[in-house]
Structure 1
């Protein structure tokens, strides 16, 4: 036999050796199984079953949760064909554990929605076996239809998938938006959004950006859940800020105060203020709708400029920075406090509880 001699197709019985439990019809053809033979094997009472269009389960029993996930991905994955010509079939990725597994087995397809949140470790989402459908995210121009246990979700901008137990999964914020799009129960939506923040899966701003992008913020039950989400995120961010000040030995500030000029206008509220240093700190927990954000950004910019003209240094921190790099953010605050002695004395401001 020369190196150019084609390999013989694997015998049919070897395809059900326990290592490969899902195959596409293209893969079956590559192993010498014709469409007619595959159909015969998938007849009622036969050893195989067609789980989704062009996806065959190579055993007669009910599919496991893992098999359903990978079947949905096999159905949605773009087939990558080689050179065209007679006898050349598309090479479709196989599930992890099968031979010939490529490095990125499900290019342009990832699990999203409730199934993705369950894979991310959410406790408020249903277990995988109880989900009737599995949402799969694909590029907008893919020509696929929702069928069986696969619900197709399209997007103009595909996010980077996270690999969880061999399954490509949409990031939490995107998976949340896709799940919320199918939910009408306000309590369920609120619980999902709250767990996303309380469980440290993502920041409120990231969730609201995805909800806004999906045009879900016009739904009253989603707006109510977002209000709870923002409050939850605010409380967690403040707790982390208090911990950062204590654990990194910063002077204790006046917390959550309003500033105003004596007998003059209100200058605005700040999250922390060191009056002896004329340093104010603002924790940016804004996460509302885009049009509100624009007005809030303009208001915050005016407040900051006014305070700095009066000689008050304004330190701006985000919840993510406080969460991920508290030592760095503490150093930023400490530097601002130490630089107070090198500045011109600030104007006198009145400090009131907020």
Structure 2
């Protein structure tokens, strides 16, 4: 067999759906190309190349970034999808449920962050390894440009440029696991929040699950992340009051009983109506239960004194600002129907 031996018309003239030219041994076999023939085509100077075990690139030049991504996904998903080339219609008698192109696997780590649009992530051609998330029991090894990351509980992938990509919090955790530069970790975590990709709590939850909060440079980055998230949430709270015509509160105050104990800090307080807003910017860590108990204790104490506490999360401010403004306005209007609250001292925080 020489390099000019005719092949299936599908391979010589692939349709648009197969233009990425990445196929498995099994997919080639369905078009009459044996493993020996495929290997012959991959000899030095041949028209093909084997980019990963069992995965072939049907041209001799360097793979594009798209081809590398598809190759990694194809390698990770081998044996989980029908053994046909992408874009080839099933036989008329076949009645099988729709299956995703790459079942149970997804791009994660730095490559996923790049696909999500992170400016702080490297461009795809600069990545020596592309991380791919697979179920824990999948029998695969890292090789070539594919780095296998296993998980017992795969997240639901997001479709980005037609590829299955891990959600930002999971992709961040997988990226941070292989990063040692504190500045890079901090920039990526900060961009996740500042760019509106996700909330700090979701990131910290994934970092905690991956047992990465034992690394000092990650802990420092998380502290900066939480501070960034609070600053953004506070800015949205200011905007909510301004844009939805709420009366001006006093901002960032501490409450005390006259001559008595400290009652706690609040992000916004309307003294005339005894209505308070508290932002929940907790980052879930091992002491989450203790932190929540403190939130609950403070809220219960204030409400016993006749102060209405509106608890708002940064996510609600991001996704439902008008709804949160309505909640606060309702609490302010209801103040006239309540018994007067206990007198408290309001101090700047």
CA contact (8 A) 1:78 1:107 kept: no
The CA deviation string for residues 239-272 of structure 1, in whole angstroms up to 9 with x for no partner, is 0000000000101001000001000000000101
Report the equivalent of 1:129.
125
Q: Does 1:99 align with 2:88?
A: yes
Q: What runs of 5+ residues in structure 2 fail to find an aligned partner?
A: 1-5, 91-97
Report the equivalent of 2:175.
179
Deviation at 1:329, TM superposition (A): 0.2
Deviation at 1:100, TM superposition (A): 3.6
CA contact (8 A) 1:277 1:340 kept: yes
Report the equivalent of 1:197.
193
Q: Does 1:112 align with 2:108?
A: yes
Give the number of equivalent residue pairs. 333
Deviation at 1:34, TM superposition (A): 1.0
Q: Does 1:51 align with 2:51?
A: yes
Q: Does 1:341 align with 2:336?
A: yes
Deviation at 1:22, TM superposition (A): 1.1
Deviation at 1:13, TM superposition (A): 6.1
The CA deviation string for residues 152-196 of structure 1, in whole angstroms up to 9 with x for no partner, is 011111111111111110000100000000000000000000100
Counterpart CA distance in 2 for 1:42 and 1:313 is: 72
Counterpart CA distance in 2 for 1:14 and 1:294 is: 59
Report the equivalent of 1:258.
254
Report the equivalent of 2:61.
61
Report the equivalent of 1:23.
23
Report the equivalent of 1:298.
293
Deviation at 1:17, TM superposition (A): 2.5
Counterpart CA distance in 2 for 1:116 and 1:71 is: 15
Secondary structure of the equivalent of 2:74?
helix
CA contact (8 A) 1:137 1:153 kept: yes
Counterpart CA distance in 2 for 1:174 and 1:152 is: 14
Report the equivalent of 1:353.
348
Q: What runs of 5+ residues in structure 1 fail to find an aligned partner?
A: 1-9, 82-89
Report the equivalent of 2:71.
71
Secondary structure of the equivalent of 1:73?
helix
**110 and 127 in structure 1: CA distance in 2 versus 1, 3 angstrom threshold:** same
CA contact (8 A) 2:80 2:103 kept: no
Q: Which stretch of the first structure deviates more once superposed, 166-175 or 14-23?
A: 14-23
Counterpart CA distance in 1 for 2:313 and 2:319 is: 10
Counterpart CA distance in 1 for 2:31 and 2:8 is: 8
Deviation at 1:319, TM superposition (A): 0.5
Report the equivalent of 2:154.
158
Secondary structure of the equivalent of 1:27?
helix
Counterpart CA distance in 2 for 1:53 and 1:14 is: 22
Report the equivalent of 1:330.
325
Q: Does 1:146 align with 2:138?
A: no
TM-score (norm 2): 0.92
The CA deviation string for residues 94-116 of structure 1, in whole angstroms up to 9 with x for no partner, is 3xxx3349651001010000000
TM-score (norm 1): 0.91
Q: Equivalences for 1:226-245 in 2 at 5 Å?
A: 226-245=222-241
Q: Does 1:319 align with 2:308?
A: no
Counterpart CA distance in 2 for 1:58 and 1:148 is: 17
The CA deviation string for residues 214-241 of structure 1, in whole angstroms up to 9 with x for no partner, is 1101100000000000000000000000
Match of 1:168 among 153, 164, 181: 164
CA contact (8 A) 1:110 1:168 kept: yes
Counterpart CA distance in 1 for 2:78 and 2:9 is: 28
Report the equivalent of 1:188.
184
Counterpart CA distance in 1 for 2:151 and 2:172 is: 14
Report the equivalent of 2:277.
281
